[in-house]
Amino acid sequence: MEKIDLSGKRVLVTGGSQGIGAEICRELASCGADVLVNYFRNKEKAEKVVDEIKVAYSVKAYPVKADVSVASEVQEMFKVLDQQLGGIDILVNNAGSESVIHVLDMQEAEWERVMNINLKGPFLCAQEAGKRMEKSGGGVIINISSIHDSVPRKGLTHYCSAKAGLKMLSKCLSLELAESNVRVVSIAPGAIETEMNREEIARFGVDKFEKWIPQGRIGTVGDVAKSVAFLASDYASYINGADLYVDGAYMNHTIQYDPRPPRTTSK
């Protein structure tokens, strides 16, 4: 397949300063898109991503600070977007947060924090982007979910619930915004190695993940970023309201034992 061409497209990636978000910014820029890199705390990392993009590709790139769970900050971020890029064609709702806590020990404040970032934030950003896309003739909204929108996990009741809500939000948005020529899809990554979790994965055991994941390897940020580029492109022009699981079939491997008899070699 030819290199995806997103030349002239205007993109906002939330949580774009590191990990999956940073790689999405780089990938979309490599396809010719101008990129606004949202961050909450990591200004230096966001500026580094912007600098990398400017050096490597002939596109515009800017950092912008905002807490996506706060409506006023989201509105201000989109004002910056209007000023810097003149509008938006592609929104990638990537910003997210999790914490591992036993459900009986979870405080209300932590439940609300995780729900607000992972679910309220994408709603607020999609609303602002949708208004602009409606006026400009269309666009694409891509929500970065998780296999835990369907697969429960101990210690992540709040996170799993938020991602399940994000999956349904994507479907509802796809219905309501299709009439405005706006496509909405979700991407649900599985086990993806980033600079933030690399040491944790190593402590837990890379070999365990390689055994559990049918494709035999942990995913990379590039696996997710390339999927985003595809769904943002005209190659995916008839994909709307869908959930793409980027996990090497990890979520389908619930049953770990293998009852199959030994294979016989045919002659």
Residues involved in catalysis: 159
Whether residue 149 contacts residue 101, with contact meaning beta carbons closer than 8 Å, is answered with no
3-state secondary structure of 244: strand
Assign 154 to helix, strand or coil: coil
The rounded distance, in Å, linking the Cα atoms of 16 and 22 is 5
94: closest CA among 116, 72, 121? 121
**Distance set, CA 19 to CA 101, 197, 231 (Å):** 23, 9, 19
Phi-psi domain of 227 (left: phi exceeds 0; alpha: psi -120 through 50; beta: other): alpha
